[in-house]
Chain A
Amino acid sequence: MTKNQLFERLSAILQETFDIEPARITPEARLHDDLDIDSIDAIDLLVQLKPVAGKRVPPEVFKSVRTLQDVVDALHGLLDESAAA
């Protein structure tokens, strides 16, 4: 899956799960500060991302993410890992 496709999937999840308007969903948007995703939401988000990543997303991966682009990069990294294995 390309990074663009990953972003589209992420965007759909954010709209569906957290009622976030599409206009606010940009690669630069920060999860906590701009989109009001708190630590409880983050756990829900990890659950929702499991089918996208094709496996459980370890919470450590999300420790350092701030923006949506960071999330996409982290997911892309996970997918690469699976492909290489």
Chain B
Amino acid sequence: MLETLERGWRILATGISFTTFGLGGLGLRLLYFPLLQLLVRDQARQTRLARLAVHHSFRFFIEWMRVLGVLRYRIEGVEKLARPGLLILANHPTLIDVVFLISLVPNADCVVKASLAHNPFTRGPVRATGYLCNDSGPALIQDCIASVKAGNNLIIFPEGTRTRVNSPMQLQRGAANIAVRGPCDITPVTIRCEPLGLSKGTPWWRVPPKRMNFTIQVHDDIPVAPQRGEAGGEARAARQLTAQLHDYFSREGQGHAAA
């Protein structure tokens, strides 16, 4: 009885959370960003302040979900993120992974689905923050490298989309291409959610039997050596690095919680 009640509350609380999220996005777009544009002339400063606003909003949002009883979380190694110019790669089990990561990184840049730049609730923040859009093809790799070199902390999910439950992890090669061609070292982050909720193909209201428990670990950097010689060497290196990352995230991302 109590369990059913608790579960019912989490469905409601998840709905409340997402409504808050949408209204927050709309509020930033209608109030905060226009004000920013009015008061701050310098474009770079505007972008920085917009990103900072999203960072604080997401921090609030995560705390809000915790207070509402939707989730619990534990974060390890967060101090490793307090450096500029990082290429942060993470596995992608849930819908709110990027919310967690941006809540930990004040100067985050990320690659967003082009559709979010058109969604009324996310359009404002996506445009004002100058986040990269994923519809620009190979030029995107160069844009990503430029962002890291400019000192932003670029967050990428090498899987490209949330992990499909019950099927093997698949990595796109874009992230490895950024690392190899930068070259940029990789700061790996693993995200675990037990029991799993908000996963690919599960509607938001189908909440897991117990409260979602997130463990987010920031690991030591994976060094990426610069490639000498022809462009061909980079294509091969990107393939090898993708395979290496696949092993890494398959190993570190699952199981052995307390190891």
Contact = CB atoms under 8 A, between A and B. Distances in A.
Interface of A: 13, 16-19, 38-44, 47-48
Nearest to A47: B231
Given A17-B235, A44-B231, A48-B231, 15 more contacts: A16-B232, A17-B231, A18-B235, A18-B239, A19-B236, A19-B239, A38-B172, A39-B137, A39-B138, A40-B138, A40-B141, A40-B238, A47-B231, A48-B230, A48-B232
B177 interface: yes
Contact of B177 (A19, A40, A42): A40
Nearest to A19: B236
Q: Is the interface of B mostly helix, strand, loop or mixed?
A: helix
Q: Is the interface of A mostly helix, strand, loop or mixed?
A: helix
Given A18-B239, A19-B239, A39-B138, A44 B174 contact: no
A17 B236 contact: yes
Interface residues of B, number: 15
A40 B231 contact: no
Interface of B: 137-138, 141, 172-174, 177, 230-232, 234-236, 238-239
Contacts of B236: 17-19
B141 A44 contact: no
Nearest to B141: A40
Nearest to B177: A40
- Find the residue from B138, B172, B230, B235 having the highest chain A CB count within 10 A: B235
A37 B234 CA distance: 14
A41 B235 contact: yes
A42 B238 CA distance: 14
**6 pairs of A and B residues whose beta carbons are closest in the complex:** A17-B232, A44-B235, A44-B231, A47-B231, A40-B138, A39-B138
Nearest to A18: B235
Given A18-B239, A19-B239, A40 B173 contact: yes
Nearest to A13: B232
7 contacts: A17-B231, A19-B236, A39-B138, A40-B141, A42-B138, A44-B231, A44-B232
Contacts of B173: 38, 40
Contacts of A42: 138
A18 B239 CA distance: 8
Contacts of A38: 172-173
A43 B232 contact: no
B232 A40 contact: no
